[in-house]
Amino acid sequence: MSFVSIREVGPRDGLQNEDPVPADAKVRLLDALSATGVRRIEAVSFVHPKAIPQMADADEVWARSRHDPDVRYSALVPNTRGAQRALAAGFREIEVVVSASDTHNRKNLNRSTDESLDDIAQLVPLIHAAGGTVEVIVATSFGCPYEGDVPPERVGSIVERVRADGADRIAFGDTTGMGTPRRVRDLLSVVTPDLLHFHNTRGTGLANILTALNLGVTEFDASVGGLGGCPYAPGASGNVATEEVVHMLHDMGYETGIDLDALIAAAALAQEIVGRELPSGVLKAGLRTR
């Protein structure tokens, strides 16, 4: 049996791409997820409330939620101010984002990729000095909605730069669901991340994870219920649904530590909270055998 490490990103990446929900609902969802046996949760982001109103109450949500000693919680931050807030709130696993595509980086962060890399170089020692670790998420690693294909070498050079600047961990984000098994193979033949973050926008989510597993990657992001969606294609799926990933992995003999029934219950809660039908097939159809 091999262990595959799932990081649940529904409370942050999922809810950030839904209409805002009350802090109470976020706390309920976080607590439900902490009780599933999942070992890692991306809990909140510390961003400017005008930029992302969905995360305006991050401090309150985090303070009121249960912190399970067996779960590693992380927070996403866009800048020094966010990192200071995250550290003050007690987070020690900090994520930052940079896009491999310059156009996407400018649209997303209002600066060039190189400028964001300079920002990250400044952030790393600040976070390290406070005892934290930095994961750099390279967004649009499998393609950009503005620029199209992103050369694997471009992702590789970003990884080289951020590693040289002290990043502790690297994740590749398939930000708009342009990943396919072929693109996974192409990129991973050039550079291997610690963790992969796939979207299921064009149905390839689990096929991509399968491909990456066969290439040795054992850490994946997923969002309960498929919470989130895709800002670039209204109505389309966003993050791979955690219970679909775990359902496939368990059937293949991998361990995740997750109780699938508890996870499906958390997905039903997520669906109730956002008040729309979530895309997860396992939520709709249940386990393959009952």
Nearest-Å Rg of the Cα atoms of the chain is 17
Max Cα-Cα span within the chain: 52
- Our finding on whether 271 is near a second copy (CB under 8 A) is no
Q: To the nearest whole angstrom, how small is the minimum distance from the Cβ of residue 242 to a second copy?
A: 11
- Our finding on whether 203 is near a second copy (CB under 8 A) is yes
The number of residues making up the chain comes to: 290
Give me the catalytic one of 195, 217, 230, 260: 230
Nearer of residues 75 and 222 to a second copy, judged by Cβ: 222
Nearer of residues 43 and 258 to a second copy, judged by Cβ: 258
Three-class secondary structure of residue 135 per DSSP:
strand
Count of residues that interact with a second copy, criterion CB under 8 A: 45
Residue 166 corresponds to which tokens in the numbers above? 């002290």
- Our finding on whether 289 is near a second copy (CB under 8 A) is yes
Among 58, 136, 171, 230, binds a second copy (CB under 8 A): 230
Residue 124 corresponds to which tokens in the numbers above? 């790393």
Which among 7, 2, 3, 1 has a CA at the least distance from the CA of 197? 7
- Our finding on whether 210 is near a second copy (CB under 8 A) is yes
Contact of 65 with 31, CB cutoff 8 Å: yes
How far apart CA 258 and CA 99 sit, in angstroms, is 31
Contact of 5 with 258, CB cutoff 8 Å: no
Among 64, 72, 111, 202, binds a second copy (CB under 8 A): 202
230 catalytic? Reply is yes
Question: Mind telling me the catalytic residues?
Answer: 230
Binding site for a second copy (CB under 8 A): 143, 148-149, 176-178, 180-183, 200-207, 209-211, 230, 232-233, 235-237, 240-241, 244, 247-248, 251-253, 277, 280-282, 284-286, 288-290
